[in-house]
A and B are shown apart, each in its own frame.
Chain A
Amino acid sequence: MSEDMNISDILTEQIDRLFSNEITAKVWAAAEDGNFATALWQEITAMGVTSALVCESAGGAGLSWVDVEPVLRLCGRHAAPVPLGETMLAAWNLANAGLEIPEVPLAISPSVWQLDVKGRVSGIDPLIAWAPQLEYVVGVARSAGKQHICLLRIADIQAIALQTYERIPAAKLNIEHVVPVQIGDAPHIGKLGLKPHLATLRSVQMAGALDRILALCVEYGNTRVQFGKPIGKFQAIQHMIAELAGHTAAAQVAGLYACRQIATGIPADAEFGAAIAKTRLGSAATRATAIAHQVFGAIGVTDEHQLHYFTRRLWQWRAEAGSEHEWAQYLGRQAFDAGSAMLWDRLARHAAA
């Protein structure tokens, strides 16, 4: 346990240093212009972090979702323009299914595809981040009530490029009778496929972006002078930033909560945790982006300023892998179905037996 903690701490520190040194506005702009950050990706893979979640017997670090949560949060805190979280998640699934992990960046699908009797996969993915630049996508296909992890070659799929708020390359995938490169059993994955996991990843990334926005606001509050004093001395600004801090703290707790639920290994827990986190993060992102732009005044909406790299990503991630509204509806429906007498019990999450 303490050894795991160590590896996780070291990894977090290394990634933080790498991201702090390498990720600049220039790197973001280049990524949004369609240039994959190859140099950054090479350094990331050299650290072995892409297989952090993969069990040791399959050559990974064997860390848990709780252990890697700080690294995933850093991906948001630095708006890292690489699919690190997606690749970690994909590698974890491939390894769990006993499949080989290609040593390249991987895309993740939150949809559940269909597997036909001839072993071919079909389905639609409305939006897959990074797909236009990657070789493979990992997702779940269902046949006769059973889930399978599949590795598909994107070249075998019709991919329609999409524009998004975050401007990172993305595509809609029309999968028609595609034979997977690899396929294996997915015992830890429930009926919702990888959607809860991607929703959790996006939630944790959002918590990181919020953390960064809070830091930017505090810094700006202490340096921007109007009426002869730093604007942070005005109570109105203090209170806006205090509210932002509340959402940021809640976001962090919610993201980690979802990771803890995945770590139990029970699909229903992973789904509940993702629903809680994505719902809470959606409202946090909405309020936080409004506050941040208000604090920064006009400079905050300019292209030169870094703020928009975070606010646009928050708007993007808020919608991906199920919006906060969709997940809230899921939670509400479950609660109605279980009945009012069970509401407190379900909230307290302490009567699993």
Chain B
Amino acid sequence: MTTPFNFQPLELPAELLTLRREVRAFLADASSEWTGRDVGHSWTGFNREFSLEVGRRGWIGMTWPKRYGGHERSGLERYVVVEEMLAVGAPVGAHWFGDRQSGPLLLRMGTEAQRERFLPLIAQGKAAFCIGLSEPDSGSDLASLRSRATRVDGGWRLNGRKVWTTNAHLCDVMIGLFRTGGPAETEKHKGLSQFLIDMRASGIDVRPIRDLTGEAHFNEVTFDDVFVPDDMLVGREGEGWAQASAELAFERSQPDRYMSCFPLLPPAMDKLQELRLDDRLAERRLGESIAEMVVMREMSLSILGQLEAGRSPGQEAALVKDLGNTYEQRMPELVRELIDAPARINPDDRLSDLLGFLTQTVPTFSLRGGTREILRGIIAKGLGLR
């Protein structure tokens, strides 16, 4: 039977319930002060204190070896922690990128010294990482990037500009992709390399970019002869493209690709019941949302299983992100449809605060981590259409 994708189911073992309950109890406590807007930020919310606490509980770098400050727990255990955090919109941004992307990259590609230095800090919630890929002229066409690393005595000099770098102004380290070989015109995917960059190095200028919500969570980062020592090259020189692409498979299938708006649903249900609007329409719309979410979670779990088994389900991950983004982008609309919420943000009313923030934020969901069009291109290619 020909089916073009693989989604073998993965069942979470019952033993993980204990962990789930622990995380839930912790979050019930920690969340008492969060506003609607805080909750709306979810995995982009940056809160060092919170990350330190999560680190103390052993919930960052969970799967990493103990000698690097990890906890040698399973990917499934990590998954449970991740989805519990997202279900309540916890502010995990200060450790998220390190835990999800940079740490695993260093484990696979980093030198022993890099691992020993950075992994324990990430796991404790002490080192915040940002991702330096996009540039003003290189978004979807990322491999056309021009920022350059030039060899000098004992290391490299970085020059150029990165943009849209989430939380760069708050982070300690950037993993940046720079051109080390020939120009983009001749060596597009070749000649790119990744570097660990100390965000306090001289020559780095971080300029906040205010977005439509009135906040400035991403930035433009300018590099003016920034020195990076030799031992901060990640992996092999010229292999940066393959390394960065592998990172993306992890990024694209995780619960943060369909749960960003989930925290809207419970308060919306409360409001509907309070206003006695939990009628047939509301039941149907809520039910649709539940069905879609359960199926997406099954797909995401399946991909986790495949990654754990050492496969690289790039096509499946692209499918999940595309479906997931569409799903989470619909959520504020769903609430508007059912509740007739006015376009007013009332910080004392959790639902209005959360809805206001998310309505303004959801357009980014099908941009970040690869646009919908790029993902559909990947899917079409996998189907043999390109």
Contacts and interface: CB of A to CB of B under 8 A. Distances in A.
Interface of A: 12, 16, 70, 73-74, 77, 211, 214-215, 218, 221-222, 232-233, 235, 237-239, 241-243, 245-246, 249-250, 252-254, 256-257, 260, 275-277, 279-280, 283, 324-325, 327-333, 335-336, 339-341, 343-344, 346-351, 353
22 contacts: A73-B1, A211-B3, A232-B380, A238-B385, A241-B380, A241-B385, A242-B380, A250-B299, A253-B9, A254-B291, A254-B295, A257-B9, A257-B295, A275-B287, A276-B295, A280-B292, A324-B288, A325-B284, A331-B287, A332-B286, A340-B267, A340-B270
A120 B278 CA distance: 39
Contacts of B200: none
Given A12-B1, A249-B7, A253-B298, 15 more contacts: A232-B386, A242-B379, A249-B323, A253-B302, A256-B7, A260-B9, A275-B291, A276-B290, A328-B284, A333-B287, A336-B269, A336-B278, A347-B294, A347-B297, A350-B20
Contacts of B83: 348
B5 A245 contact: yes
Contact of A246 (B1, B269, B323, B373): B323
Chain B interface, >50% SS class: helix
Nearest to A342: B266
B152 interface: no
A254 B323 CA distance: 14
Contacts of A239: 373, 376-377, 380
A325 B283 CA distance: 9
Interface in B1-38: 1-5, 7, 9, 11-12, 14, 16-17, 20-21
A214 B302 contact: no
A77 B380 contact: no
Contacts of B323: 246, 249-250
Contacts of B2: 211, 215
Contacts of B385: 218, 221-222, 232-233, 237-238, 241
A280 B295 contact: yes
B290 A351 contact: no
Contact of A349 (B270, B294, B383): B294
A174 to B, nearest CB: 28
The 9 A-B residue pairs with the shortest CB-CB distance in the complex, in nearest-first order: A332-B283, A328-B287, A331-B287, A332-B287, A279-B291, A238-B380, A242-B376, A340-B266, A242-B379
A252 B273 CA distance: 34
Contacts of A349: 294
A328 B1 contact: no
B68 to A, nearest CB: 29
B292 A335 contact: no
Contacts of A235: 373, 377
B285 interface: yes
A346 B294 CA distance: 10
Contact of B376 (A243, A332, A344, A350): A243
B154 interface: no
Interface in B302-360: 302, 316, 319, 322-323
B262 interface: yes
Contact of A350 (B12, B278, B285, B319): B12
A91 B323 CA distance: 37
B221 interface: no
A350 B17 contact: yes
A336 B286 contact: yes
For the side of the interface on B, what is the size category? 35 or more
Given A242-B322, A250-B299, A253-B298, A332 B284 contact: yes
A332 B376 CA distance: 31
A329 B299 contact: no
Nearest to A324: B288
A250 B288 CA distance: 14
B287 A245 contact: no
A120 B284 CA distance: 36
Nearest to A234: B385
B319 A344 contact: no
Nearest to A74: B1
Contacts of B373: 235, 239
B313 to A, nearest CB: 11
A256 B9 contact: yes
A35 B291 CA distance: 38
Contacts of A343: 265-266, 269, 290
A77 B1 CA distance: 9
A280 B5 contact: no
B282 A276 contact: no
B90 interface: no
Contact of A329 (B80, B280, B380): B280
B143 interface: no
A238 B384 CA distance: 10
B296 interface: yes
A249 B316 contact: yes
Contacts of A252: 3, 5, 7
B316 to A, nearest CB: 7
A301 B370 CA distance: 36
B170 interface: no
B322 A246 contact: yes
A75 B266 CA distance: 39
Given A242-B322, A253-B298, A343-B266, A70 B1 contact: yes
B293 interface: yes
Contacts of B291: 254, 275-277, 279-280, 327-328, 331
Nearest to B324: A246
Interface string B71-86: 0000000001001000
B286 A214 contact: no
A135 B372 CA distance: 52
A48 B23 CA distance: 49
B278 A347 contact: no
